Amino acid sequence: MMDQNNNNQNNLNMLPESNYLVTKAVSTSSIPEQKVSSDLEQLEKAEKKTEYKANIAKGVNNPQVYIAMSALRLANPFKGY
| C-alpha separations of 6 from 9, 14, 17, 55 in Å | 5, 12, 21, 64
pTM of the shown model = 0.40
Per-residue confidence (pLDDT) for residue 49, from 0 to 100: 79
Q: Please check the confidence at residue 81 and state whether its pLDDT lies above 50.
A: no
Task: Give the mean pLDDT of 51-78.
Answer: 75
Nearest CA to 60 out of 72, 49, 48, 50 is that of 72
Q: Across all residues in the chain, what is the average pLDDT?
A: 77
Q: How many C-beta atoms surround the C-beta of residue 66 within 10 A?
A: 15
DSSP states along 9-68:
HHHHHPPPGGGS-------GGGS-HHHHHHHHHHHHHHHHHHT----TTTT---HHHHHH
- Sorted by where each begins, the domain ranges of the chain are 23-74
